[in-house]
Structure 1
């Protein structure tokens, strides 16, 4: 097994190469300036005295992050930061199929339970991620699995957390939409090859039969605009609604790239959010982080301002569309997946180690200190209606 595959199976991260394959990350012809402008807030000098958790709660919202049980148990400062800033967390990989059922019918929850215990202690909600994902699977499992395999897995995992006081929601299925039309054999819904809409429907039905007290989400990336993928994601959501299954919300991952060379499809993203609200399927942001693409600025200060500005503008759109939950994929740059050597995004960064310092996608830096991104997120919560 390659090092890339081993890392993926352990941590369960989405590949940037897959993100680049989506229409959302295409380079638009229209240029839009994400650099520091006089009419933009100076987030570096913002005076933020409350935690993101507190600021979100004041507006009836939740802020949280993806976390790792390893770091939680080994790094006290990391654990303290999570407890202070987050009202919801997502296990990085601890609840994926390969982690919870490494052998057929043999379940293990030690790592996931460590996160659940931490959440119980600090009054934090836990978002279950995920019951079904084509990459977070053990080697013995075929893709797609049989319905009997799915039923056994869902009963084992959801049953374990049926009475949990902290696990409030599940990504029932993750990344089931193909990256583009060439990777699907289902023209109507754009599902990954081998998947049938009826299997996903039955997955949701099985989940509801085990525990319908939790919120159920369909989670995916590359749907943050008017793209081939977002169109088929919405069709699949509508199919599930029309099939009478329980689906409470849509997880919009939001691994985002911004640049002065191409713009963000704000109009298209608004249309996605509007359609989800019309379907009464609540949109939430589940895996947010931000990369600034070439041409890069000439200083870290300018880079941080661009990241912060992008956070603020993106979250303003989300909050205007009734999004009430924002989860970043990590809290500190020390532990971002984007900085891992096996997952260095794009040729620009991968081939230039001197540029790795410009990968600063999260609210806190590697020393757990708040960055302008933190202040921008704080301001977005403060100004949310």
Structure 2
């Protein structure tokens, strides 16, 4: 992401016109159908990530009754925020810890939610468990690396057969700096990243033949993402050339307003052509689309909450209107429903130290203008 989009008060007021319904907070949201119910009228689905917590904890989990009430009203699908990643699931080469994800899945199924799986392989040394980065692959490194990878995917898919309908098989394999494929402990052992990624998808298809298989990444529509987008296009084209079974591109959609602008609408119009050209090439290769981790980074927006919320809502609606214009897009998921538990608060705090406000509900569980904007986009 590039640094810097602040909107002034005049620009925010202009943007607010497109989402006037967002002025009705809290109880007004409860008086209208939830986001998933609206999406379902168009043959789509809406959901969110879920964390694990002990029962009653103040956390973004279904074990928290207050959050469960909010999430189950708006969401028909779910994805684990962290509990299915290797760092959480596989503490050592020989051990798996399924307890937390089992609890998330059980609660989601009781709530009538379908489950996505995130992720079978986060292809990035930074997010590998330490034991994998340091692993001694021995005298036949390619064979050992393949064994570890296939064992992991087969174990997870077998355990949750029929209960996970879509997997982010590979996450973030493209380096945004130059569009190349990341080098990891596995790719170094196997002689290249393509061999790792192809094996991951082919193993997933064998182990979960009815599941949707997704390549997931955070390339975005803002300026500065050109090399990242180009790298993803090369990867997707290579999958098709090599006959790798990939069904969809997961578009994380951690979008954001980063630099000064006097009009959100003009900013959206500026970003849209290159982004649409990218999406056209993706669907032109026969891929579906999934919005997997939607939220809005507001670090450039002013402190004033009314102005900031209006800017976030207008930017979100412009983005979702574009994404939802593609019939290849069926599922839209937020990366958390409330600012109270948003990952952005710790990962990317605002320069002024104020809490971020990029989720549909604020920290007190009140619906914000972005909720109304999302509702309007899904209804269209």
Aligning the two structures, in what range does the TM-score lie when normalised by the shorter sequence?
0.7 to 0.9
CA shift for structure 1 position 143: 8.0
- CA deviations on 1:270-289 (whole Å, 9 max, x unpaired) are 11211111111111111111
The corresponding residue for 1:170 is: 167
Out of 275, 280, 288, the residue aligned to residue 281 of structure 2 is 275
- CA deviations on 1:330-379 (whole Å, 9 max, x unpaired) are 00011001112xx234xxx25x33xx13x101001111111111000000
Say if 1:224 and 1:252, in contact at 8 Å, map to a contact too: no
Out of 97, 103, 106, the residue aligned to residue 95 of structure 2 is 106
The corresponding residue for 2:155 is: 156
CA shift for structure 1 position 73: 5.3
Say if 1:190 and 1:232, in contact at 8 Å, map to a contact too: yes
Out of 348, 366, 376, the residue aligned to residue 344 of structure 1 is 348
Say if 1:125 and 1:168, in contact at 8 Å, map to a contact too: yes
TM-score by length of 2: 0.83
Aligned ranges for residues 1-385 of structure 1 at < 5 Å?
20=1, 25=2, 35-37=12-14, 39-46=17-24, 48=29, 49-70=32-53, 71=59, 72=61, 74-133=63-122, 134=124, 135-142=126-133, 146-164=145-163, 167-181=164-178, 190-194=180-184, 195=187, 196-224=193-221, 227-259=226-258, 261=260, 263-264=267-268, 265-294=271-300, 296-297=301-302, 299-322=304-327, 323-340=329-346, 343-345=347-349, 349-350=350-351, 352-353=352-353, 356-357=354-355, 359-383=356-380
SS of 2:367's equivalent in the other structure is: coil
SS of 2:366's equivalent in the other structure is: coil
Distance change (3 Å), C-alpha of 1:191 and 1:327: same
CA shift for structure 1 position 300: 0.4
Q: How many residue pairs end up in the alignment?
A: 341
SS of 2:18's equivalent in the other structure is: coil
Distance change (3 Å), C-alpha of 1:129 and 1:69: same
CA shift for structure 1 position 136: 3.5
Say if 1:43 and 1:308, in contact at 8 Å, map to a contact too: no
The whole-number CA distance in structure 2 between the counterparts of 1:159 and 1:129 is: 15
Q: Which moved more, 1:142-151 or 1:227-236?
A: 142-151
CA shift for structure 1 position 160: 0.8
Q: Which moved more, 1:205-214 or 1:369-378?
A: 205-214
Q: Which moved more, 1:105-114 or 1:35-44?
A: 35-44
Distance change (3 Å), C-alpha of 1:43 and 1:239: same
Unaligned runs of 5+ in 2: 54-58, 136-143, 188-192, 262-266
- CA deviations on 1:205-263 (whole Å, 9 max, x unpaired) are 11112111100000001243661111110110111122112111000111111146263
Higher relative contact order (CA 8 A, sep 6+): 2
The corresponding residue for 1:4 is: none
The whole-number CA distance in structure 1 between the counterparts of 2:326 and 2:83 is: 31
CA shift for structure 1 position 39: 4.5
The whole-number CA distance in structure 2 between the counterparts of 1:104 and 1:243 is: 30
The whole-number CA distance in structure 2 between the counterparts of 1:260 and 1:338 is: 18
CA shift for structure 1 position 171: 0.4
CA shift for structure 1 position 298: 5.2
Distance change (3 Å), C-alpha of 1:215 and 1:277: same
CA shift for structure 1 position 292: 2.4
The corresponding residue for 1:10 is: none
SS of 2:371's equivalent in the other structure is: helix
Q: Which moved more, 1:42-51 or 1:118-127?
A: 42-51
The whole-number CA distance in structure 2 between the counterparts of 1:298 and 1:199 is: 45
